[in-house]
Structure 1
Amino acid sequence: MLHTLKTYFGYDSFRPLQENIINHILTKNDSLVLMPTGGGKSICYQLPALLMEGTAIVVSPLISLMKDQVEALQANGVTAGALNSNNSESENANLRRECLMGKIKLLYVSPEKLLSEVDYLLRDINISLFAIDEAHCISQWGHDFRPEYTQMGILREKFPKIPIIALTATADKITRTDILHQLRLKNPKVFISSFDRPNLSLTVKRGYQEKEKNKTILDFIDKRPNQCGIVYCLSRKTTEKVALNLQKNGIDTAVYHAGLSSEQRDKAQNDFINDRVQVVCATIAFGMGIDKSNVRWVIHYNMPKSIENYYQEIGRAGRDGLESDTMLFYSLSDLILLSKFANDSKQQSINLEKLNRMQQYAEANICRRRILLSYFGETTDKDCGNCDVCKNPPERFDGTIIVQKALSAIARTNEQIGTTLLVDILKGFNNAEVLEKGYDKLKTFGAGRDIPPRDWHDYLLQMLQLGYFEIAYNENNHLRITELGRNILFGKEKATLVIIKREEFVAKSRKKKVIKDFKPEKPDYSNEDEFIFEELRVLRKKLADEQAIPAYIVLSDKVLHLLSSSRPTTIEEFGNISGIGEFKKEKYGKDFVGLIKKLTKESK
């Protein structure tokens, strides 16, 4: 396994969970893998595909995503292809022929194409495994539900002995359960990597108007010269307005939304990937499968519709593990518009609940990372120190008794109530539902009379975000006490709450500054020669253009930094750099080593 990892991907060791997942697949067992963006999901099925006999079938939702994956694999010397409607008939015919001959190790297909080939191509080839990428698309509870994905259960029926691996970066507990059910996985093992991305800072700005937002964004970019970033907007019109404002201030900016032609979108994406522009302003149509490792920041001009969307989008920053920043603007107008979208959707109750949780995150005054982790079922008893709340901490107090009162009421109703009814019980309100269900007889009835209802809702919001209880929104939004909550309830641990302060922060004005001459920023590598790095970038661009592929597929920025720091003078030394496999060593070693030797000699 390690030999294959080094040969094709250029790495000497696995990331957390990768080795366990690969071993599980090699025993031909089903699995569900949850890893955050940039966590290394693709190697979990790509490497076993190389180790097993036959062709791995990878189901992917977007043609652009398939294209990126296939190009990256081919650049590593792996025989891979994508069967889709963008190909010509002859290209698809050649690909089918190669599959039948056993020459393709990984075949990428859309769910529609998979269904049309189940009784034809797939029946006639030797399949090693099925990988369902972006598996949250299967679930009606997921943030990007796609009806065609729901038919993927046919794979278990048609190919009972072939292992299935479902992978996603964002899925809460209900979505996970639904994925397992829809795919009919047999005794699956669920692998959940930590959702924590400690290199991402988290900041929320509440109540800013357009002018204040624009000033803040310019100031933000001004403090991060030469750093690549993405600005996500809710509408096409806003995307274009924000981009125009940045361009007027001398910032190289591309626009990306569904209203543009495919050529315009491809150009924007390619310009961003190849560092020809510093910023891309985009709707949520942009980003899935973008493997640009040096995105240093992500700004949300508007609030996203769900935490899943938000987490996936901010995850496009800092994929190389280096420090990166995120900023979210949140306003009442966003909430009104998103609520309208949710009410008009086919999944009204689900989308409203997800929006509610996103709103709670935006309004929170406790560690934001704890809220995100709690949402995905991961609890921590420490604040992160890298969000706006941690950096400017609010005043806190020992809220154990308040928390115990609330959790006791939830427990005494057998976890059959929602937040509104819980507050009614704690306040001792004799309304119809309380009396009908006999909740006025509970020991905790009226136990929180001294706290205003508005504050109770705020404290419950804090408790939810701290992970003391969960909301089962597929069961009438009933509250469920977590293990962490039980520790508080039974006096094993204390609970700290935030003192409630109802005030808003207003953005300060700033002087306009112009940023020109965009060059991608470089991390601080010891002993790095900046001139050599720039010359290596020129060579990489030349090699990429010759092959008509993005520059990062030849070698990543991180690899170029390592080369300009260590300056290898033999092809063997070149191959020892992390991220350079055997194929790239043989293909590019002579060019890069030759240039490094020439530049090193000239500098002496």
Structure 2
Amino acid sequence: MNLPDPFAPIAPSIDRALQDVFGFEAFRAGQRRGIEAVVQNNNTLIVMPTGSGKSLCYMLPACVMPGLTLAVSPLIALMKDQADALESFNIPATYINSSLSWDEQRQRLAGMRAGAYKIVLVAPERFKSQVFLDALAGLPIGLFAIDEAHCISQWGHDFRPDYLTLGEVRKQLGSPTTLALTATATPEVQRDIAAQLGFESPRVVVSGFERPNLFFEVYPARSRRAKYERIEALLDQTPEGSKVIYCATRKQVEEVGRNLRESGYYPALYHAGLSDQERDEVQDAFMAGDAPLLIATNAFGMGVDKSDVRAIIHFNIPGSVEAYYQEAGRAGRDGESAHCLLLFNRADLRIHEFFTENSFPDRKQIERLWSLLQKHGEGTHALDADMLADHLSRAGDDRVHPWAVGSALRLLERGGHVAFGQRGPTPWLQVMDRARTRELRVDWHALDARRRVDEDHQEDMVRYATGHTCRQLYLVRYFSDTAEDIPRCGRCDRCCGPPSYARDAGQVRAPIVVSEAAQTVLRKVLSGIARTRGRWGTHVVAAMLRGSRAKKVVGAGLDQLSTHGILSALRQDDLVRLIDVCAQLGLTTQNTHGCVSLTEEGTALMIASEPLPAPVAEVLARHLTSVSASPRRSGAPSSHQAAARQNEPPLPAHLAAHLADSELGETYLRTFALAREGHDYQSIAEQRGLTPSSVLRHFLKLAEHGYPLPLQDHADGRLLPELREVASDWSSHDKLADLKERLSTPCDYDTLKLNLAIVLQERFEHLQPLDAS
């Protein structure tokens, strides 16, 4: 068969294509193996992290293989960008999707038939169109590429029913060489993708999941205030590059944005509630570096490739390891050091439980909805999910969320029972038959399975957050069952202890001082948890261990337990911390209500008589110290933080001598030393590689702790007298925005902080904690 020129190979080999077509000198890790497998006509599954060059793995084979490459992607919004990128490499390509007019679609279909394109990008829904299938008939399909292939698997974190048809589509196309690409597929999902596509002996290439330039940290935050303090500490120590804070809901995006603005930061916000134009403007500003701090839901990030992202912060725990790795992996794509901080609070799991319950409603809810629709009868009605949810809520004891109704309607639509949509401002819903509830064409087994998959993903994410193994090792093992174990990575909090930015900000808690051996204290905690039989949460168990006679403790009879008061020398916060440590070590677990119980490992350790295993003893040593031991600072700085400070001179001797006993970290004392030398806050920020706002916060902390700063030149004759009155009991835990609102004297935040530092200093005029010379 004589192929038209566009269907003939563009380059004679993969190396010539790499250099002559794409202009690259070398392949990235894993790319050559995957590309060679495809070019040799092997059905191939490639699993590579976001940002590692997956797209080249179908674009380059398209250049050296004869025939048309058909590339499937669910990201309609990005198809134009991908087609434009291909055109920039002089590869004839186009996309066909619902964003185009019918006339434009017909022109492109005609061009495809005429051989005008080497690569055509389509969404999976396109194969429902008979017109499109007719246009494909007889064309030489050299490569069938499927991006985001995890969407095929019902065990994946982002399953999409339209992807299920692709195995049958592949057969209709004559089973061409097929490439499945994904950034997030566990071994189980990899096997399911291969099975769904009918691969008999596929080549599987999994690579690149260790990210040595990223520092992974999980911070167990007991409160929202603790989250904000940790975020601010990291932002202050990361002045360069871009930062993204991910939140689970748009409401939280707004809340976090408001709180950070009140603390003197200037974040941009991105979520699905914004108009398309607003989202585009925010994304353009972020990409241009004009909005270096972005707070977003997971609506942000698909197709965003920014090289200088220095920190990714998750305000809430994500719903799956796949989602977390994809989002965290947007940091450090330039190969330089970056930080990935997850703020873990078990209460945040309720958000994902809500998502799961409403994405996969139970059978009873779907049958109730169908009964309501039957009352309206066959035909078309002006109804939508909100209206139906309101009807169901008023008719029953439980409130039904519109999201759950929308999910149920989609299941009924898939079964051919209803159709629905929107005509202008008016909703419509068509009831298409009068099936009895037991005759509903809903795959109840698949629905239950999807709900369990979502729940399993959440449990996997909790294991990451609470586990005591190396973070990098957990991720490598999660995505590859054939990966070799990596040594202690030296790039996570499990291997290094608390990172340096937290230490410098004074956020590393001192060890709990005990009078007994650490293993004795641990076993007492485990015994107390065992006696409560998994019926109570962390705070109640801690109260019982310290001997509290609070109403809840006495009312539950916990004061009668043999473990009541066995750790009475410790504070409530200390015991809560130790119970959290038990969870991190895998010795305890919590149910959905937060009730604590022992795992098998916890029970075995409680009753054992031999010394603690080395990994347990090592973790415990970070949190406990005997009265005879001196506290030690733990944790190594991340490399980008160490690099930022490597040129700083040694701390002056008179300050270094105070460091061990100071409540403040070294970074504060360095700021103090420069201020005493006569540098203003902007000069200090420039010298230290910090933001001016960070240095001003240092001033407030230093002043609050009685360190004499030379701030007289900044005294504002109108503002200072009012501050002395209004801020008489202000502390660094209070919000500046609230204080600013109470002032009648107008001022900017910088002036406010400088004069507030003077007020804080005046409280300590009688103290001289350091020699000011």
Q: TM-score, normalised by structure 2?
A: 0.51
Question: Aligned partner of 2:305: which letter?
Answer: D
d(CA) in 1 for partners of 2:454, 2:681? 40
Please state how far the C-alpha of 1:297 moved relative to its aligned partner. Answer: 1.7
Task: Go from structure 1 to structure 2 and tell me whether the alpha carbon gap of 1:78 and 1:297 turns closer, same or farther (over 3 Å shift).
Answer: farther
1:107-122 to structure 2, matched below 5 A, reads 107-116=120-129, 119-122=133-136
Provide closer, same or farther for how the CA distance between residues 252 and 457 of structure 1 changes in structure 2, counting only shifts above 3 A.
closer
Gap change, CA 1:390 and 1:459, over 3 Å in 2: closer
How far has the Cα of 1:226 moved from its partner?
A: 3.2
1:348 aligns with 2:451: yes
The Cα of 1:24 is off from its aligned counterpart by 1.7
Specify whether residues 355 and 223 from structure 1 end up closer, same or farther in structure 2 by C-alpha distance, changes over 3 A only. Answer: same
Question: What whole-Å deviation, never above 9, does each CA across 1:309-331 have from its counterpart, x for those lacking one?
Answer: 10111011122222211111010
| Cα distance in 2 for residues equivalent to 1:366 and 1:72 | 41
Give, as a single letter, the amino acid of the residue that structure 2 aligns with 1:52.
M
Which residue of structure 2 lines up, in the alignment, with residue 145 of structure 1?
Answer: 159
Question: Which residue among 609, 613, 616 is the counterpart of 1:498?
Answer: 616
Quickly say closer, same or farther: Cα 1:78–1:251, change in 2 above 3 A.
farther
Deviation track 1:75-104 (CA, whole Å, cap 9, x = no partner) reads 232222221122233332332222122121
Structure 1 residues 44-80: Cα deviation after superposition (integer angstroms, max 9, x where no partner): 1100111122321111111223233223222232222
* CA contact 1:240–1:255 (8 Å) conserved in 2: yes
Look up the match of 2:462: 359
Cα deviation per residue 1:382-408 (whole Å; 9 max; x = unaligned)? Answer: 11001112112899xxxxxxxxxxxxx
Q: Where does residue 68 of structure 2 map in the other structure?
A: 55
Distance 1:343 1:184, change over 3 A: same
CA distance in 1, matches of 2:257, 2:103: 40
CA distance in 1, matches of 2:61, 2:314: 37
Query: Does 2:82 correspond to 1:69?
Result: yes
* 8 A contact 1:59–1:114 mirrored in 2: no
Structure 1 residues 393 and 327: CA distance shift in structure 2, 3 A: closer
Superposition pairs for residues 56-205 of structure 1, below 5 Å? 56-116=69-129, 119-205=133-219
Q: Per the alignment, do residues 86 and 496 of structure 1 end up closer, same or farther by CA in structure 2, a change over 3 Å counting? A: farther
2:496 equivalent among 385, 391, 398: 391
Cα offset, 1:17, TM superposition: 2.5
Alignment match, 1:368? 471
State the shift of 1:192 in Å.
1.1
Unmatched runs of 5 consecutive residues or more in structure 1: 396-419, 421-453, 464-478, 480-494, 516-521, 523-604
Q: Secondary structure at the match of 1:359?
A: helix
Assess if the C-alpha contact under 8 Å between 2:466 and 2:583 holds in 1. no
Over 3 Å counting, the alpha-carbon distance change for 1:305 and 1:123 in structure 2 is same
| Alignment equivalent of 2:244, drawn from 190, 208, 230 | 230
Matches within 5 A, 1:241-390: 241-248=255-262, 251-346=265-360, 347-376=450-479, 377=481, 378-390=483-495
- Quick check: which has more Rg, 1 or 2? 2
* Pair 1:364–1:11, CA change in 2 (3 A): same
Which structure ranks higher in relative contact order (CA pairs < 8 Å, sequence separation ≥ 6)?
Answer: 1
**Secondary structure of the corresponding residue to residue 497 of structure 1:** helix
Comparing 203-212 and 334-343, the one that deviates more: 334-343
Over 3 Å counting, the alpha-carbon distance change for 1:174 and 1:391 in structure 2 is same
| Distance change (3 Å), C-alpha of 1:456 and 1:75 | closer
Map Cα deviations across residues 8-61 of structure 1 (whole Å, 9 max, x no partner): 322111122322222221222211111111221111110011112232111111
Q: For residues 28 and 586 of structure 2, what CA distance do their matches in structure 1 show?
A: 35
8 A Cα contact 2:45 2:180, kept in partner: yes
Q: Please tell me whether the aligned partners of residues 267 and 291 of structure 2 are also in contact (alpha carbons under 8 angstroms).
A: yes
CA positional deviation for 1:121: 2.2
Do 1:365 and 1:389's aligned partners in 2 also have CA atoms closer than 8 Å? Answer: yes
Structure 2 unaligned residues grouped into runs of 5+: 1-13, 361-449, 500-510, 512-533, 535-578, 589-599, 601-612, 625-633, 635-662, 669-679, 683-688, 690-773
Distance in 2, Cα, partners of 1:190 & 1:342: 31
Q: Output the amino acid matched with 1:174.
A: E
Is 1:53–1:128's contact at 8 Å kept on the other side of the alignment? yes
Aligned to 1:544: none
- C-alpha distance in structure 1 between counterparts of 2:294 and 2:476, whole Å: 28
Asked if the contact 2:46/2:179 (under 8 Å) is kept, the reply is yes
Q: Which piece of structure 1 moves more, 120-129 or 188-197?
A: 120-129
- Contact between 1:251 and 1:278, CA under 8 Å: does it hold in 2? no
CA contact (8 A) 1:232 1:284 kept: yes
SS at match of 1:260: coil
Residue equivalent to 1:7: 20
Deviates more, 1:108-117 or 1:133-142: 108-117
Q: Is the 8 A contact 1:100 1:124 kept in 2?
A: no
2:320 corresponds to 1:217? no
CA distance in 2, matches of 1:216, 1:374: 28
Classify the secondary structure of the residue corresponding to 2:349: helix
1:336 deviation in Å? Answer: 2.9
CA distance in 1, matches of 2:614, 2:188: 29
Kindly report which structure 2 residues correspond to 1:562-601, keeping only aligned pairs within 5 A, or say none.
Answer: none
Cα distance in 2, alignment partners of residues 206 and 221 from structure 1: 18
1:165 CA drift (Å): 0.4
Distance (Å, rounded) in 2 between the aligned partners of 1:102 and 1:326:
46
Aligned 8 A contact 1:343 1:352 in 2:
no
Matches of 1:222 and 1:102, distance apart in 2:
56
Whichever residue aligns with residue 125 of structure 2, its letter is E
Q: After TM superposition, list the pairs within 5 Å mapping 1:444-523 onto structure 2.
A: 461=586, 497-499=615-617, 501=620
Q: Distance in 2 between matches of 1:76 and 1:244?
A: 44
What is the one-letter code of the residue matched to 1:209? S
CA 1:379–1:26 in 2, change beyond 3 Å: closer, same or farther?
A: closer
Instruction: Answer whether contact 1:33 1:167 (CA < 8 A) is retained.
Output: yes
Contact 2:113 2:136 in 1 (8 A): no
Counterpart for residue 476 of structure 1: none
Counterparts of 1:307 and 1:125 in 2: how far apart (Å)? 40
CA RMSD of aligned residues (A): 3.5
Contact 1:128 1:162 in 2 (8 A): yes
The answer to whether the 8 A contact 2:311-2:331 is kept is yes
Identity percentage of aligned residues: 39
Cα gap change, 1:250 to 1:92, in 2 (>3 Å): farther
Contact 1:462 1:497 in 2 (8 A): no
116-125 vs 16-25, which deviates more?
A: 116-125
Indicate the SS of the match to 2:55.
helix
Q: CA separation of 1:295/1:88 partners in 2, compared to 1, >3 Å: closer, same or farther?
A: farther
TM-score, structure 1 as length reference: 0.65
1:148 and 1:190 map into 2 onto residues whose CA distance is 23
- Cα deviation for residue 166 of structure 1 reads 0.4
User: d(CA) in 1 for partners of 2:471 and 2:243?
Assistant: 21
Q: Contact 1:208 / 1:329 at 8 angstroms: preserved in 2?
A: no
Q: Which residue in the other structure is 1:536 paired with?
A: none
Aligned partners of 1:508 and 1:120: how far apart in 2? 72
d(CA) in 2 for partners of 1:386 and 1:272? Answer: 27
* Cα pair 2:308 2:334 within 8 Å, conserved: yes
